[in-house]
Amino acid sequence: MTDDPGAGAPTKLTASKQRWAQEGRFLTGHTARPEAERLPPGQHLVTNWPVLDLGMHPDIPASRWRLEVFGAVDKPVLWDWAGFQALPQTRAVSDIHCVTTWSRYDNAWDGVLTRDLLQAVSPRADARHVVLQSYDGYTTNLPLADFAAEGAVLAHRWQGAPLDQVHGGPVRLVVPHLYFWKSAKWLQRIEFRTEDRPGFWEVRGYHNRGDPWAEQRYSEE
Ligand SMILES: Nc1nc2c(c(=O)[nH]1)N[C@H]1C(S)=C(S)[C@@H](COP(=O)(O)O)O[C@H]1N2
Ligand SMILES: [Mo]
């Protein structure tokens, strides 16, 4: 019928290769997903880094910067720059997925993992939600489980250099497994809550969770 050696009944080797492809075996990227699935549905890759926000870029020198953590936690804190820098510092590399359809691969963030922050403030057993408040008045909300996810980081450096003011410096949140609107720039306050409270975009038609793999861009209403 055909002389294509690849066609015909699957051999042991082709069956293994198909399985390797599905598992993404032999890929050298940072992700465990097969390369073809690294880009979520409806996204396109960019190599620049677009700036998106409410149009105000607060100028907060490190000397005046404070981060308040309050609400349903046993140890509320107000960190200044030195206090924040004294927390464990980690590099986390991740991809950005913005709801406006651009994605940017391999961003190296340096800062405090949300897991280390949780260690420091001890959320109460009934804490379920987190609300981020920023110096420009922006807010966004997350389930505590998403805030605590692997790779989520309060970042103050990007690709080895201090985070640019336009991208949220001195400190922004990065939650890589959700659309980028959840990653609050110019972070000022973190509130732990027993009840959810939708943020700026969430009350304006964006999805409450924002999973790029499920294309949770906008709410159904
Ligand atoms: N404080 C603050 N954080 C924010 C926003 C904002 O307007 N203010 N915009 C969000 C949105 S919609 C996006 S897409 C990303 C954009 O981040 P970037 O400008 O670094 O690409 O920031 C998010 N975090
Ligand atoms: Mo966005």
Which domains does the chain show, CATH number per domain? 65-204 (3.90.420.10)
For residues 132-157, give the mean pLDDT.
Answer: 98
Give the CA angle between residues 78, 161, 184 to the nearest 5°.
45
Residue 54, helix vs strand vs coil = coil
User: Separation of 150 CA from ligand 2 center, angstroms?
Assistant: 22
Is 90 exceeded by the pLDDT of residue 205? Answer: yes
| pLDDT bucket at 5, cuts 50 / 70 / 90 | very low
Q: Is 46 in the pocket of ligand 1 (CB under 6 A)?
A: no
Our answer on whether the CB atom of 50 is closer than 6 Å to any ligand 1 atom is: yes
Mean pLDDT, range 35-39, rounded to an integer: 81
- Give the ranges where the chain is alpha helix by DSSP (H): 12-23, 81-85, 114-121, 144-147
Q: pTM for this one?
A: 0.86
Q: Is the pLDDT of residue 159 over 60?
A: yes
Other CB atoms within a 10 A radius of the CB of residue 91 amount to: 13
54 lines ligand 1 (CB under 6 A): yes
Give the H or E element holding residue 69.
Answer: strand 66-71
Q: Which of ligand 1's atoms lies nearest the C-alpha of 166?
A: 19
